[in-house]
Chains A and B, each alone.
Chain A
Amino acid sequence: MIVAAALLLIAFAILGAPLFAVIAAGAMFSFYRADVDLSVMAIEIYRLAEMPVLVAIPLFTFAGYLLGESQAPRRLVRLTNALIGWMPGSLAVVALATCAMFTAFTGASGVTIIAMGALLYPALAQAGYRENFNLGLITTSGSLGLLFAPSLPLILYGVIAQQLEVGRGVGIDELFLAGLLPGILMLALLGGYSLWTNRAIHQPIQDFSWREAGAAVRQAIWELPLPVIVLGGIYGGYLAVSEAAAITAIYVLVVETLVYREVGFRRLLHVMHESMVLVGGILIIVGVSLASTNALIDAQIPMRLFELMQERVSDPLTFLILLNLFLLGLGMMLDIFSALVIMVPLILPIAVGFGVDPVHLGIIFLANMQVGYFTPPVGMNLFIASYRFKKPVAQVFRATLPFFFILLAAVLIITYWPWLSLGLLGR
């Protein structure tokens, strides 16, 4: 009966049913079997109003959308160019760094490929990079930066892990710190590959000039304090995540609409609306998953799964290998938010049972998901890039393959070298 219901729900999901409805149906089925009054659904979803950290989600998302709508990406690229453009082959590195920063603030919802890609793709072509390299680079960059503060998936992982109360606690500030070195590792590997594969391009984009650097700084002068305030505040421990989000939202709002005046009133309303559609899509999934998580725990499913795993898998290493394979597959199928709310409640207790630190698991999970975004044949960003740059999907596959293997290597290093995630935390 349970198996049949589960299969039916998976079938609905594959047919394209909204995932929140699938999760809600699963939770209701489970409560119904346990003789729990179904008004519990309302009580569980209402818990969205009881977690202060969730305030960060609408505020950061709005700020990210507004930044994407303004000329901020252009200023960011100009500035990075002015600072490191004298290095031969540096444009690829510029692209990687700016995309990572942009994604950290906007979440990996494909916004990066659309907003930054429009800017960087032609620029890369002009600088003499091969078409397939550019295509691969931009597609990969669409999910780069997920591990850096204040990315929404990191926050969401923290929220879910806190609900579960297993193992050592997980602070969101700890996750922000933990993602730093793994994120830098990914950037460094991709940057190194880009420089090496394009070593034939000797021409620097531009010579370093104090004038251009000064002009670029002056142009972006209003946006420059933002990362400093937000990242400094969060990493320095001065600001709670929700406070950082509030400052970001009000700051970006004032700067883009009143100082730069690049987003008019009508546009602003549109941005507010669009960003809240995304937020609604995420929060309703989080809301129903609060119910499904409790249903799972009531039915002791995570514990049974752990016992089942323990019979077959004896050492943590094998567990981690299986986890990597599973998460890569999952990342292809599910978007990161659904994957988090569905899988973390199941996987976290098992991982803790095998001695994996919950913070480390979060970084492993997101790193895997990040690669899953462009894993052939169905990673979502492959299709966004194919659509955006009007190239056949097969070409995007091929173009992305070298980047895929590099980040896969990064994921393996991150998985099997816990210090990289936990060293800065001293745990």
Chain B
Amino acid sequence: MPTDHPVLRRLLRGIALVEDGLLIVLLALMIALAAAQIFMRNVLGSGVTGADQLLKLLVLWLGMLGAIAASRGDRHINIDILSRFLATRARLLCRLVVDLFAALVCGLIAVHAARFVHTEYEAGVTAFGRMPAWITELILPVAFTLIALRYVVMFFADLRRLRGGTPP
């Protein structure tokens, strides 16, 4: 299957490394910035300009990066009742349906998010200060593309397991 290809696998591992690195750096930035802001406000009387906006933006980016990481390990919040009562084969069939569904939904959001970012880019909208809005929004199409990709990979992995008869 295509997802078994060594180049693709290396590529995905490389992307995962970047995701994890960015996740940790942004969390560290958020902690430092939030703490600095409180310090400045209480000791110096005024906060850093733009820091509040940046903090709010970091919530979105951390959330999306966390969601990518969650999809990598198939750790998204779901209802985990049925699988406890199903046999291996039925469980794998369920997973195939679910993988495909999640990949489709995320792919659809990614396409429309990309369209949205493109319009914002063309219109030259700014988010705060002189920061162009399309840069702050870029995480949306990127994240949903990567999540969709992860579910495609999972779909083929589950398909292989179904053929080989190994449990997930």
Is B126 among interface residues, defined by CB-CB distance under 8 A? no
Which chain A residue lies CB-closest to B115?
A: A39
Q: How far in angstroms is the closest Cβ of chain B from A138? A: 21
Decide: A249 near B34, CB < 8 A? Known: A276-B66, A281-B75, A335-B77: yes
Contact A280–B66 (Cβ < 8 Å): yes
Q: How far in angstroms is the closest Cβ of chain A from B79? A: 5
Contacts of B83 in A (CB 8 A): 16
A74 to B104, CA, bound (A): 46
Which chain B residues (113-156) contact chain A, with CB distance < 8 Å?
113, 115-117, 119, 136-137, 140-141
Which chain B residue lies CB-closest to A378?
A: B81
Is B62 among interface residues, defined by CB-CB distance under 8 A? yes
* Per-residue B-contact encoding for A270-302, CB less than 8 Å = 1, 0 else: 001100111111111111000000000000000
Q: Number of contacting residues on B, CB 8 A?
A: 59
Is A93 among interface residues, defined by CB-CB distance under 8 A? no
Decide: A250 near B31, CB < 8 A? Known: A16-B94, A280-B70, A281-B70: yes
Contacts of A19 in B (CB 8 A): 76-79
Contact A46–B140 (Cβ < 8 Å): yes
Contact A287–B112 (Cβ < 8 Å): no
B interface, over-half SS: helix
Is A225 among interface residues, defined by CB-CB distance under 8 A? no
Q: How far in angstroms is the closest Cβ of chain B from A343? A: 14
A interface, over-half SS: helix
Which chain A residue lies CB-closest to B83?
A: A16
Contact A51–B56 (Cβ < 8 Å): yes
Contact B77–A20 (Cβ < 8 Å): yes
A12 to B102, CA, bound (A): 10
Contacts of A18 in B (CB 8 A): 71, 76-78, 98, 102
Contact B66–A279 (Cβ < 8 Å): yes
Is A356 among interface residues, defined by CB-CB distance under 8 A? no
Contact of B63 among A15, A17, A280, A378 (CB under 8 A): A280
Is B73 among interface residues, defined by CB-CB distance under 8 A? yes
Contact A58–B76 (Cβ < 8 Å): no
Is A246 among interface residues, defined by CB-CB distance under 8 A? yes
Is A422 among interface residues, defined by CB-CB distance under 8 A? no
Contacts of B97 in A (CB 8 A): 12, 15
Is B11 among interface residues, defined by CB-CB distance under 8 A? no
Contacts of B119 in A (CB 8 A): 39
A250 to B34, CA, bound (A): 9
Is A127 among interface residues, defined by CB-CB distance under 8 A? no
A39 to B118, CA, bound (A): 11
Q: Nearest 3 CB-CB pairs, A to B?
A: A280-B66, A283-B63, A246-B34
29 pairs, CB–CB < 8 Å, chain A vs chain B? A15-B82, A16-B79, A16-B82, A17-B101, A24-B106, A39-B112, A39-B116, A41-B109, A42-B140, A48-B60, A55-B34, A55-B58, A58-B30, A58-B59, A245-B34, A247-B35, A250-B34, A272-B27, A273-B20, A276-B69, A277-B66, A277-B75, A280-B67, A281-B66, A281-B70, A283-B60, A283-B62, A284-B66, A285-B77
Residues of B whose CB lies within 8 Å of any CB of A are 20, 23-24, 27-28, 30-31, 34-35, 37-38, 52, 55-60, 62-71, 73, 75-84, 94-95, 97-98, 101-102, 105-106, 108-109, 112-113, 115-117, 119, 136-137, 140-141
